[in-house]
């Protein structure tokens, strides 16, 4: 659980600082979650390793304290603004369907809590993530550097190297350990940063995202929940050339809807 420090300034505004507290109990719960995901058919070892490392109990925003016990159940939960953090099985399935190779550029639509983006980062990708809710965008773009810092230390401690937290910053990490967060409408994509090797949409989309398909590189793949909130199919589209695509379908999932425009 996060250790919470509260301080107040002269105007009596309170600030809450949270350190990353990730106990053996949390790690044990994550190992159990990984077993559950394997039993549900997830086979990509890199995806499972990422899920085993990321402290999901810290991704629930201001209500984190109350979510600790069920953070490692396979459920989707409220993160504020009417949005949810996706179920671990959904995150794992979308991640493995992307067939990530190290160094790839990935566009995510729907940053939300940042959990999915961090799973992708641990697969050694350059993640560009768009969120339409300003509040979520601001919160997550501040939180992810802390998480990244924590994971860098964790991975280095696993390699039995001494960690030097004071010398590390968000910027001076290897290029492929990178997440950039954007506030905007995911339907527009990020033409300035295109093309992308992979695109993942984490909200139910009822139409084919033409602008996003045009921002996909040839040979690239887009994984998206196609349909409405309660009834969508996980679809993977591969781009073989300009205007040439193939499509595969991987079963039913539930998502919040992808909506047009931004919310300030």
Q: Tell me whether residue 112 or residue 220 sits nearer to ligand SAH (CB atom).
A: 112
Which stretch in 7-15, 25-33, 183-191, 240-248 sits in contact with ligand SAH by CB under 6 A?
Answer: 183-191
CB contact set of 219 (below 8 Å; sequence gap of 6+): 197, 238, 239, 240
**129: annotated active-site residue:** no
Judged by CB under 6 A, which stretch of 2-10, 172-180, 216-224, 252-260 contacts ligand SAH? 252-260
C-alpha distances in angstroms, 248 versus 170, 213, 234, 237, 238? Answer: 37, 15, 8, 7, 9
By CB under 6 A, residue 209 contacts ligand SAH: no
In the complex, minimum distance from the CB of residue 70 to ligand SAH, in angstroms, rounded to a whole number = 15
Nearest residue to 126 via CA among 92, 177, 170: 177
In the bound state with ligand SAH, the residue whose beta carbon lies nearer, of 47 and 130, is 130
Residues, the chain: 264
Please choose, from the candidates 104, 107, 170, 176, the residue with its C-alpha nearest in 3D space to the C-alpha of residue 141: 170
Taking the complex as a whole, the smallest distance from the CB of residue 241 to ligand SAH amounts, in Å, to: 27
Tell me whether residue 166 or residue 227 sits nearer to ligand SAH (CB atom).
227
CA distances from 224 to 16, 27, 204, 235 (A): 36, 30, 7, 5
H or E segment and range at residue 209: none
Contact residue for ligand SAH among 132, 139, 148, 198 (CB under 6 A)? 132
Beta carbon of residue 102, minimum distance to ligand SAH (angstroms, whole number): 21
Long-range contacts of 37-42 (CB under 8 A, 24+ apart): 37/74, 37/88, 37/89, 37/92, 40/74, 40/89, 42/89, 42/92, 42/93, 42/96
> Does the protein bind ligand SAH through residue 215 (CB under 6 A)?
no
- 96 burial via Cβ count (<10 Å: 0-12, 13-18, 19+): buried
Tokens for 176, please give them.
């492929």
Query: Of 35, 86, 95, 141, which is the active-site residue?
Result: 86
- Pick from 37, 42, 109, 179: which binds ligand SAH (CB under 6 A)? 109
Nearer of residues 87 and 221 to ligand SAH, judged by Cβ: 87
Sole binder of ligand SAH in the list 42, 54, 121, 203 (CB under 6 A):
203
86 binds ligand SAH, rule: CB under 6 A: yes
* Binding test (CB under 6 A) with ligand SAH, winner from 33, 42, 85, 216: 85
What is the set of active-site residues?
A: 86
Site residues, ligand SAH (CB under 6 A):
83-86, 109-110, 112-113, 115-116, 130-133, 136, 185-187, 202-203, 256, 258-260
């Amino acid at each position: 659980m996060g250790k919470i420090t509260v301080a107040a300034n002269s105007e009596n505004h309170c600030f809450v600082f949270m350190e990353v507290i990730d106990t053996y109990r949390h790690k044990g719960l994550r190992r159990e979650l990984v077993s559950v995901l394997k039993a549900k058919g997830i086979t990509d070892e890199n995806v499972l390793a990422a899920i085993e490392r990321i402290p999901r109990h810290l991704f629930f925003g201001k209500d984190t304290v109350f979510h600790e016990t069920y953070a490692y159940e396979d459920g989707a939960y409220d993160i504020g603004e009417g949005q949810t953090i996706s179920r671990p099985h959904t995150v794992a399935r979308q991640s493995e369907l992307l067939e990530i190779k190290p160094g790839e550029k990935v566009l995510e639509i729907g940053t939300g809590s940042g959990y999915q983006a961090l799973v992708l980062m641990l697969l050694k990708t350059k993640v560009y993530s768009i969120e339409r809710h300003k509040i979520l965008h601001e919160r997550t773009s501040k939180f992810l550097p802390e998480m990244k810092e924590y994971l860098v230390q964790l991975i280095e401690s696993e390699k039995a190297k001494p960690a030097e937290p004071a010398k590390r910053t968000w910027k001076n990490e290897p290029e492929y350990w990178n997440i950039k967060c954007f506030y905007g409408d995911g339907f527009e994509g990020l033409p300035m940063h295109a093309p992308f090797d992979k695109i993942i949409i984490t909200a139910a989309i009822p139409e084919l995202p033409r602008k996003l398909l045009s921002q996909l590189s040839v040979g690239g793949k887009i994984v998206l929940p196609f349909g409405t909130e309660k009834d969508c199919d996980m679809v993977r589209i591969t781009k073989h050339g300009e205007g040439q695509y193939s499509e595969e379908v991987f079963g039913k999932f539930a998502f919040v809807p992808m909506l047009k425009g931004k919310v300030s």
